[in-house]
Every structure is written in C-alpha cells, then in structure tokens.
Structure 1
C-alpha cells in the first residue's frame, strides 16, 4: 500500500515480527538496557545539579530572612531527592535485568553447544554403528589371515627333496643295508690259493730287467777274455 506521500507502507505484521526478533535478541536487549541505565544516570546527575542549586537558593533566602521561601526551596529539594531514589531503584532493576539476561544468554549458548554436541555424537554413532565396527573388525581379521597365508606360501621350500617324508627315507636306507648284507652272505668262501697268492709283478719292468742281466753278462765275458 502507498501512503499519502507516495511511500510504500511496511505491513504491520512485518513490523511486529521485526520488533519481536529484536526484543528477543539477548545482545540487543542488553545493549538497550545499558543505554537506559546510562540515560537514568544522566537524569540523576541533572537532578543532583538541581538539588545543589536549590540548596544554594535556600541558604540565600535564609540569609535574607525569607524563611518561607527557604522552606519552599527545601520542599522542592525533597521532591528531587525522591525522584533520585526512584531513579536509583530503576537503575538497580535494570542492572538486575542485565545480569539475569546475560546469565540466561550464557545458559542458552551453553545449552545450544551441549545440544549440538549431542547431535554430533548421535550422528557419529549412526555413521559408525556397532554393526559397522564389527564388519570392519571381521575384514581386518580376514585380511590378516590372508596375509599370513601369503607369507606361509612364500616361505615354502622350493627343493622337493626337503618335503620328503623322513620315515620313507629311513625305510629306504634299511632296505639298502639289508640288500648289502644279503649280497655279502651269498659270496663263496675264499680258497687257499686265492688266500696266499702273490701279487703279480709289474709287466712293464720285465724287459728292462732282462736287458740289464744280458749287459752284465757280456761285460763279465769281456773281462774274462782280457785276462
């Protein structure tokens, strides 16, 4: 809607909502209260100046013998002092509100932080979950078992003889020893000639020995002939 000056009017509901938000904002409310306290203090200082002026006026009138005028001035002084008392009470009320509001705002912030922490913990619990943890632990165990199997497979000996059964090897050795013993028992007993036979002389030495004897004989004949 447009008013008489051509400006668009702000809807009443919008103004009320804005005022409500401002009124319920703790920080803005504290600022407003402190501004009100400052205004009360200014008014209190103004009243004190008035009282000081009235006291001077009452003293002046008493010095001039105007007792009635002095009493009237003192009555005005009392009124101002009563107003100061009211201002002091208002200031006390406002200060109490400020303290209470700041405490309430702090409690609200603490509650919001705790609520946010609780929601975060709940979300983490939902994201993780005991079932998911169990699944992860099972997967870890499975991977560790597979890794151990791989290590065992890599550590296996390559030489196939190392994998032979020791019992089989011992049985084979016993069979060989038994066969040797049977062969030894089946040999014929040795004869007397074979027992006392002389070793054969090396054949390659006989021609040399015969030629040496022949040469010795010729030398002996020549020596005899010379005699």
Structure 2
C-alpha cells in the first residue's frame, strides 16, 4: 500500500502536493463557515427587529434562512472532518514510508558491510596478525640471544659463583674487628692541683743528666 502511495520520489512529491491542497481546502472551508455563522447571526437580529415591529411573517423568514445557514455550517463541518481525516492518514502513511525507507537503507548498508567483511575474512586477518606477532617474537628472541664466547657460559654455574661471592662477603663482614675503640671519659682535675707527670718522662731526664756528667769527666 505504502509503495503504491509513496514508492517513488515522484509519487512522494504528489503526496506532498495532495496534503498541501487539502490544507488549502480546509482553510477555505473554515473561512466559509465563519461567513455563514455571521449571516446566521445577522438573520437572528433581523428576526428580533421584525418581532418588535409585529411583522411575524418576516421574522419567520429570517429564522428559516438562519436554519439554512446552520445546515450549511454543519455540512462544512463534516467536510472539514473528512479532510482532517485524509490529512492525518496521508501524513501517517508518509511518516511510515520514510521510516521503512530508512530501515531498508540501513539493512542494505549492513548487508553490504557484511558482504565486504565476512567471517572468513575476519578469521584470515586474525591468523595473519597472530602469525606476524609470532614472527616478531622469534626475531626479538634471536637478536637478544648471546653470541660468541658469551654463548658458552653456563648460567647455573654463574649463579652458583655469585652465591659463593655473596657468602664470602658476608663472612668477612662478620669477622672484621671494630676500627674505633670506645672513647674513655676524661675526669676533671681539681683547680690548684697539677696532674702527675708520667714516670717515663722522669726517667728520661735523669738519663740526660747522667750522660752530661759523663761527658764532663771525660774531658
């Protein structure tokens, strides 16, 4: 149904033109309704005047014309309801068609994307990435491997030797004597008393005097 109404751009343009025409007709009917209502009100006023003038026949004629105007107003109201109904249906159909077209466009785009990147392509790409990663890891391992004389060193032996050095250093640290002796507190000497000279200094003076006496005797 919607394809028949708005299946092509030209048909959609015709639908828009139809809605615009219906709106114009609705506006015209509303204006005409207002005019008829004014005429009916005018006939009522005339009927009142004829009633005051005791002209019953003329007053009745005014009321008849008022009824005719009211019938036309009622008819115009029905026309407006029909036009409103058509406008609502066309606008709803247009919105639905635009929604369906948008969904169809999205589905086509999704289908094209899936066709361009199917699951086999994804799996193939992931396999290539994993392969390149493994190759790079092998290259890095090859570049970091020791070469020449360093390649012949046994890592276990080197670690054992390092442990021996650490043990010897710890043992030497424990056996090393203290380099500084504890400080001996100095006792204060009372004022007026001289400290006693060491005995060694006294013996040296006596030996000097004896050597000087022997020298004089020799002369």
The reply to whether TM is greater than 0.5 is yes
Correspondence 1:33 to 2:25: no
The answer on whether the counterparts of 1:57 and 1:73 sit within 8 Å (CA) in structure 2 is yes
- Structure 1: gaps (5+ residues): 1-20, 167-227
Residue of 115, 123, 142 corresponding to 1:134: 123
The answer on whether the counterparts of 1:47 and 1:84 sit within 8 Å (CA) in structure 2 is yes
Counterparts of 1:163 and 1:54, CA distance in 2: 125
Correspondence 1:91 to 2:80: yes
Tell me the secondary structure at the aligned position of residue 50 of structure 2: helix
**Greater mean alpha carbon deviation, residues 157-166 or residues 70-79:** 157-166
**Greater mean alpha carbon deviation, residues 111-120 or residues 100-109:** 100-109
Instruction: Name the counterpart of 2:161.
Output: none
- Deviation readout 1:64-85 (Å, 9 max, x if unpaired): 2221121111111111101100
Correspondence 1:111 to 2:108: no
Instruction: Name the counterpart of 2:146.
Output: 157
Cα deviation for residue 163 of structure 1 reads 3.7
- Deviation readout 1:150-194 (Å, 9 max, x if unpaired): 11111111234524789xxxxxxxxxxxxxxxxxxxxxxxxxxxx
- Deviation readout 1:15-68 (Å, 9 max, x if unpaired): xxxxxx478633322222111111000000110111112112211222222211
Matching of residues 56-95 of structure 1 within 5 Å: 56-95=45-84
Tell me the secondary structure at the aligned position of residue 108 of structure 2: helix
Correspondence 1:102 to 2:98: no
Counterparts of 2:12 and 2:40, CA distance in 1: 36
Aligned residues: 147
Counterparts of 1:164 and 1:42, CA distance in 2: 108
Counterparts of 2:113 and 2:103, CA distance in 1: 15
Counterparts of 1:72 and 1:163, CA distance in 2: 131
Cα deviation for residue 147 of structure 1 reads 0.6
**TM-score, normalised on structure 2?**
0.62
Counterparts of 1:80 and 1:109, CA distance in 2: 43
Cα deviation for residue 99 of structure 1 reads 1.8
Q: 1:87 to 1:22 in 2, by over 3 A?
A: farther
Asked which structure has the greater RCO (Cα within 8 Å, sep 6+), the reply is: 2
**TM-score, normalised on structure 1?**
0.59
- Structure 2: gaps (5+ residues): 1-9, 156-219
Larger radius of gyration: 1
Tell me the secondary structure at the aligned position of residue 100 of structure 2: helix
